[in-house]
């Protein structure tokens, strides 16, 4: 039986693995290899890398560090978490793993722009023509032409956040018409955010620009940010009985404990900033709490 099974090998899961392995605990990471961090062409806001670092390079360094201290990593998708009295079974396609504690660090999946071809999506992301994280890379679009695909409160907030970097912002409805109440419209007007109805489609990469066609014609931008929300990958924990918000983010206490004893969560799957630094910080807290709880259980047994 492992001391901890970590589901998810992104920045949260790998940070927890480094901490736990260095606490002399046995740790196994189950990871199906779809970290959002792997999509980052170069992160410029992650502290300690003045010239930036590619997401895949950061993950490779963290994997190396975790494995150096003895963390085991299996490239596999976890299908189910079964809580027992004081332990867990984690079921994958063809195996079962037992652990005293489980940390869920499965992240989220960003919804893509409607009708965008996968190959074009990936190429646009690589070239910074498509971006998902204004907190991370709003700086890179300073004074550029920016399109935000979204509407309602979420689209309005993303557009206004980006207004802090450029005054050339267009909020594009993903559907035929925007869904904006008067309060949203007033705020957008107050910040000088332009709007156009959709539906949007026929995306094209044209040199340094990305083009999108809406009902009125074709628009060109230096970058487009989809503001279409995310799918929170919390179903395994919810299936094991953990409480989640309406959107699906796992609810945790200050020590990253879910509502199921022994089941912890960290990173984007928990309500928070959706940043590497936050994922790492939460994982450090979770790992230290796991260590302390296991030490307590062992001392009670003596
Ligand atoms: C384009 C882009 C640019 C970004 N730029 C930055 C930036 O510059 N700075 C910054 O701080 N943040 C940035 N972010 C956000 C950052 O990537 C995330 O906040 C971070 O990756 C969250 O880490 P995590 O470990 O919680 O989740 P993730 O990194 O998404 O990792 C989750 C892991 O769980 C695994 N998993 C999921 N379900 C299962 C399962 N059932 N079984 C096994 N494994 C599973 C996945 O395969 C994945 O490896 C960016 C995000 C995107 C999309």
Pairing of strands 72-75, 27-31: parallel
Q: Which atom of ligand 1 is nearest to the CA of 77?
A: 42
What does the pLDDT average to over 221-234?
97
Q: How confident is the model at residue 177 (pLDDT cuts 50, 70, 90)?
A: very high
CB of 209 closer than 6 A to ligand 1?
no
Pocket test for ligand 1, best of 8, 42, 126, 240 (most atoms within 8 A of CB): 8
What does the pLDDT average to over 202-217?
95
CB of 45 closer than 6 A to ligand 1?
yes
> What is the predicted pLDDT for the residue at 298?
86
> What is the predicted pLDDT for the residue at 150?
97
What does the pLDDT average to over 248-254?
98
CB of 138 closer than 6 A to ligand 1?
no
Examine the pLDDT at 300 and tell me if it is beyond 80. no
CB of 198 closer than 6 A to ligand 1?
no
Pocket test for ligand 1, best of 6, 35, 53 (most atoms within 8 A of CB): 35
> What is the predicted pLDDT for the residue at 302?
56
The candidate with the shortest Cα–Cα distance to 28, out of 77, 80, 71, 76, is: 71
Of the chain, the percentage scoring pLDDT greater than 90 comes to: 96
Examine the pLDDT at 301 and tell me if it is beyond 80. no
pLDDT tens digits along 77-99: 999 999 999 899 999 999 999 99
Pocket test for ligand 1, best of 17, 33, 40 (most atoms within 8 A of CB): 40
CB of 8 closer than 6 A to ligand 1?
yes
CB of 107 closer than 6 A to ligand 1?
yes
pLDDT tens digits along 283-299: 999 999 999 999 999 88
> What is the predicted pLDDT for the residue at 273?
87
pLDDT tens digits along 1-60: 999 999 999 999 999 999 999 999 999 999 999 999 999 999 999 999 999 999 999 999
CB of 271 closer than 6 A to ligand 1?
no
* Structural domains of the chain in order of their starting residue, each with its CATH number: 2-109+230-301 (3.50.50.60), 112-226 (3.50.50.60)
Mean pLDDT of the chain: 97
Q: In sequence order, what DSSP letters do the residues of the chain get, joined into one string?
A: -EEEEEE--SHHHHHHHHHHHHTT--EEEEE-S--GGGG-S-BSSSTT-TT-B-HHHHHHHHHHHHHHTT-EEEE--EEEEEEETTEEEEEESS-EEEEEEEEE---EEEPPPTT--HHHHHHHHHTTSB-S-HHHHGGGGTTS-EEEE--HHHHHHHHHHHTTT-S-EEEE-SSSS----HHHHHHHHHTT-EEE----EEEEEETTEEEEEETTEEEEESEEEE---EEE--HHHHHTT--B-TT-PBP--TT-B-SSTTEEE-STTBSS---HHHHHHHHHHHHHHHHHHHHHHHHHH-
Give the closest residue (by CA) to ligand 1 atom 33. 8
Q: How confident is the model at residue 241 (pLDDT cuts 50, 70, 90)?
A: very high
What does the pLDDT average to over 193-211?
96
CB of 233 closer than 6 A to ligand 1?
yes
CB of 43 closer than 6 A to ligand 1?
yes
What does the pLDDT average to over 234-258?
97
């Amino acid at each position: 039986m492992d001391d901890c099974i970590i589901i998810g090998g992104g920045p949260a899961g790998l940070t927890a693995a480094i901490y736990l392995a260095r606490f002399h605990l046995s740790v196994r990471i189950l990871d199906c290899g779809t970290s959002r961090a792997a999509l980052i062409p170069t992160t410029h806001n992650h502290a300690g890398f003045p010239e930036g670092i590619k997401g895949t390079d950061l993950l490779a360094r963290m994997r190396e560090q975790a494995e150096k201290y003895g963390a085991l990593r299996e490239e596999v998708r976890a299908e189910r978490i079964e809580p027992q009295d004081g332990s867990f079974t984690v079921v994958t396609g063809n195996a079962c793993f037992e652990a005293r504690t489980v940390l869920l660090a499965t992240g989220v999946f960003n919804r893509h722009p409607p009708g965008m071809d996968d190959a074009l999506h990936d190429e646009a992301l690589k070239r910074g023509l498509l971006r998902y994280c204004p907190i991370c890379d709003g700086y890179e679009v300073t004074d550029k032409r920016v399109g935000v695909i979204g509407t309602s409160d979420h689209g309005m907030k993303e557009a206004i956040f980006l207004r802090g970097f450029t005054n050339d912002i267009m909020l594009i409805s993903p559907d035929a018409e925007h869904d904006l109440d008067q309060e949203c419209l007033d705020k957008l007007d107050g910040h000088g955010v332009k709007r156009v109805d959709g539906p949007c489609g026929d995306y094209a990469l044209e040199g340094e620009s990305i083009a999108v066609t809406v009902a009125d014609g074709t628009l060109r931008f230096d970058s487009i940010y989809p503001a279409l929300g995310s799918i929170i990958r919390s179903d395994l924990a919810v299936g094991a009985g953990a409480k989640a918000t309406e959107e699906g983010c796992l609810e945790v206490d200050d020590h990253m404990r879910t509502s199921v004893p022994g089941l912890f969560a960290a990173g984007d799957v928990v309500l928070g900033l959706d940043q590497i630094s936050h994922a790492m910080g939460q994982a450090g807290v979770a790992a230290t709490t796991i260590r302390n709880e296991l030490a307590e259980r062992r001392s009670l047994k003596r």
